[in-house]
Amino acid sequence: MGTYILKRLLLIIPTLFFVLLINFVVVQIAPGGPVEQAIQQAENFQGVNMTAGGLSSSVNNHEYRGAQGLSEDMVNKIKQQYGFDRPAHERFWLMLKNYLALDFGTSFFKDKPVTELLWEKMPVTISLGAWSTFLIYLISIPLGIKKAKQHGLFFDKSTSLLLAVGYAVPAFVFAILLIVFFAGGSYLQWFPLQGFVSDNFHSLNLFEKIADYFWHMALPLLAMVLGGFASLTYLTKYSFMEELNKQYVLAARAKGLTENDVLYKHVFRNALLVIVAGLPEVLVGVFFVGNLLIEIIFNLDGLGLLGFEAVQQRDYPVIFGALFFLTLFGLILRLICDVIYRVIDPRIDFESRGAK
C-alpha cells in the first residue's frame, strides 16, 4: 500500500501540469482578456485616471487619439502591467516556477495575492460544503438502507416521488423557491436574503453568533441538501439490494442471525465500498459545483463566487490558482478514498491490480 500511495503522490505532479497547460492554452485564445478590457476602459474614459489592475495613469492627448484609440506606447504599458509583453511559453514557464514556491501571483482586478484571496474565501466554501455533505450523508444512507430493506413496499414507493423530485430539480431552483417563500420574496421573511453572517456579528456573544450563523446558513444548506441527497440515496439503496441477494447473506440468515446482524455486520461493509468510491465526486461536486450557484444566489463570498467573477473578468491568476487548488483537492480526495477502501476491506490490493 505504501508503494501505491507513493506512486499516486508522484502522479499528482504531471496531472497538475497537464491540467494547467490545457487550461492555459484555452484561456490564451479566449477573447476579451484583461488587456482588452483595460484598453476598452481607457478608451471609454479619456482623460480619467485608469485604475484597472492597479494601473494608474492619465490618458492624455498623446496616449489617446480619438477614433484611432490608444497610442502604441500606452497599449504596451498595459500589456506590461499584466505580463502580456512576453510570449505565451515564457508566461507559462514563469507561472510554473512561481507555483513551485506556492506563489499564485496577484489578482489583476482585486490587487491582492491569489493565496490571500483563496484563504479569505475558503472558510465560507468549506463551511457550506462540509455541513451540506454531512447532512446529505446523514439523510441518504439511513434512507437508502431502509428503502433497500422495504423494496417494493409502501415506504419505498411513497418516498420514491420525493427522490424523483430531488433528483430532477437542481439545487439552485430549490434556492430560488426558498427565497421566494421564506426570505421575503413574496410570502414569509423568516430568514435573511443574503450574506454569511449579520453586520453586527462581531458584537454578539458566543451563543448569539452560533444562532446567527445557522440562521444565515439555513436556506443555502437546505437548498443543497434537497438538490443533492437523491442520487446518494439511490446509490445506497441499490448497493444494499445487490449485497442482500448474494449467497453469503443467505448463509448468514440460515445460521439464525438476526436481520440487523446480517445487515450491519456483513452487508454494510461490502455495500459501503460503492458509496466510498463515489465520495470524491460527491465532495468536489458539493464544494465547487453545487456551491457556485448557491454562493451567487445567496451572495456568499466564497471560492465559488470568486471563481465565477474571475472567469467573467478573465482574471487569469485567480482562475489558475482556484483551478490548481480544485485539482489538487480532488486528487488528494481520491487517494484518501483509496486508503479508506483498503481499511474497509483489507482484501483489496491496488498494487497487485496495477491501479493507477
Where in the chain are the domains? Answer: 2-100, 114-353
- Give the pTM: 0.72
Ranges of H-type helices in the chain: 2-29, 34-44, 72-81, 88-100, 114-149, 154-168, 171-182, 206-244, 247-254, 259-262, 268-277, 279-284, 291-297, 303-313, 316-344, 350-353
**Please, what is the angle between helix 114-149 and helix 303-313, to 10°?**
120
Closest CA to 289 of 156, 108, 132: 132
Q: Which residues are paired to 57 by β-bridges?
A: 50
pLDDT in tens, 205-248: 888 888 888 888 888 989 888 888 888 888 888 888 888 778 88
> In the prediction, which pLDDT does 285 show?
64
CB atoms within 10 A of CB 321: 25
> In the prediction, which pLDDT does 49 show?
44
> Which DSSP category does 201 fall into?
G
Mean pLDDT of the chain: 76
> Cell 497599449 sits at which residue?
75
> In the prediction, which pLDDT does 68 show?
47
Q: 8-34 b/e with 16+ CB inside 10 Å = b?
A: beeeeeeebeebbeebbeeeeeeeebb
d(CA 263, CA 149): 9
pLDDT in tens, 185-202: 667 778 887 777 777 878
**74 Cβ contact partners less than 8 Å away, ≥ 6 residues apart:** 42, 57, 59, 63, 64
d(CA 141, CA 278): 13
CATH code, 114-353: 1.10.3720.10
Residues of the chain with pLDDT under 70: 1, 28-85, 185-186, 277-278, 280-282, 284-290, 341, 344-356
Closest CA to 117 of 107, 127, 125, 126: 107
Burial group, residue 334, by CB count within 10 angstroms (0-12, 13-18, 19+): middle
| Residues constituting the chain | 356
> In the prediction, which pLDDT does 321 show?
84
